Amino acid sequence: MLGFYVSAVFTRWWQIFDNIGWIDTPCLWITQYIKGETEKAKCVRRNCIRYSILTQAMVLFLLFSEFEVSLRFTVTWQQAYVNVFQLSIIW
């Protein structure tokens, strides 16, 4: 029974990481399509890759912070929605 649970949790997390877009392919496209040895071309490539890295870091940060918040607060979104709906009916 424990093995089934561990397998289910691992499969869920693996699917989450598969659905996250990784920046390897876009960075290779950037270096392939923005050609040139001039300072402007190097600056454009560098900035595009920096923004890609920033985007990846923000996605991972949001993913892990959402997981920590869900561990801290046990109220699900459905329960919160029902509570708000019930309050609006009372008013």
Domain extent, residue 48, equals 22-90
pLDDT of residue 87: 44
Give phi and psi for 28, each to the nearest 5.
-65, -40
Q: Tell me if 35 is assigned to some domain.
A: yes
pLDDT tens digits, 26-73 = 888 888 999 889 999 999 999 998 888 888 888 878 777 766 555 555
pLDDT of residue 44: 92
Residue 89 has pLDDT above 50, yes or no: no
Residue 91 has pLDDT above 50, yes or no: no
Q: Tell me if 51 is assigned to some domain.
A: yes
Q: How far is CA 80 from the centre of its chain?
A: 23
Structure tokens at 9: 């949790």
pLDDT tens digits, 8-18 = 878 887 777 77
Q: Tell me if 8 is assigned to some domain.
A: no
Give the count of domains, the chain: 1
Contacting residues for 4 by C-beta, under 8 A, at least 6 apart: none
* Dist CA 41 CA 53 (whole Å): 18
